[in-house]
Amino acid sequence: FRTLDDRYNLISIGDELTRLLEAGGLSVIHDRTPHDKNDYLDAYDNSRVAVQDWLKQYPSIKMVLDLHRDAAEYADGTQWATSATLNGEKSAQLMFVVGTNARGLNHPNWQTNLSFAEKLAVLMEKANPGMNRPVQVRYKRYNQDLGPTSLIVEVGTAGNTHAQAMNAMPALADAIYALAKGT
């Protein structure tokens, strides 16, 4: 369920989301750096530097999405998979994770991020019932304090196949596009 092969990891999922958003007329910067390549625990520190650099270089960035696969497993260690159907095909479900300012963390945008997550979830659920897992609000910031409308998007779980994760991207792209266009 973990690979450095960009044809099968989340970088390829980001490539597909980028392709779909750009086809809808949105400008996208896709950072293809595997921030967890050397040490899984350093991923947020590494991605924080990258997001800060992108925001400095392009201050007009309107949203930052951090794509993940949820690490959910059964007691016996078997990887759990989410399930939805999109356009007649089996798909991974999506879940938005919002960090907060709990425990004294500086995070002035967390309520804006929560509103953003809820709007995306409503748009996706309306168009594709069953696509969403509930929005999760957590006590960490996950680098979402760096700018408005920043979210973690859990693309299924480690138990979902690559094809199932790819199949979820049109629902996410359509919701982002609708929200960006105000429809």
pLDDT at 40: 64
Q: Provide, rounded to the nearest whole percent, the portion of the chain with pLDDT above 90.
A: 74
Mean pLDDT of the 29-55 span? 84
Model pLDDT, residue 44: 83
Please report, as a single letter, which amino acid is at residue 35.
H
Measured distance CA(61)–CA(100) in Å, rounded: 21
User: Per residue, what are the HEC states of 56-81?
Assistant: HHCCCCCCEEEEEEECCECCCCCECC
Sign for the CA dihedral angle at 30, 61, 132, 105 comes to positive
Is the pTM higher than 0.85? The answer reads yes
With beta carbons less than 8 A apart as the criterion, state whether 96 and 136 touch: yes
pLDDT in tens, 65-99: 999 988 888 899 888 999 999 989 999 999 999 99
Report residue 11's pLDDT band, with 50, 70 and 90 as the boundaries. very high
Q: Is the pLDDT of residue 36 over 80?
A: no
Mean pLDDT over the full length of the chain: 91
Q: What is the DSSP string of 129-182?
A: TT-BPPPEEESS-TTGGGSSSEEEEEEEETTS-HHHHHHHHHHHHHHHHHHHHT
What residues are paired with 84 via a beta bridge? 91
**pLDDT confidence band for 127 (50 / 70 / 90):** very high
% residues pLDDT > 70 (the chain): 96
The model's confidence at residue 26, banded by pLDDT at 50, 70 and 90, is very high
pLDDT, tens only, 129-180: 999 999 999 999 999 999 879 999 999 999 999 999 999 999 999 999 999 8
Residue 41 has pLDDT above 70, yes or no: no
Residue 50 has pLDDT above 80, yes or no: yes
* pLDDT greater than 70 at residue 183: no
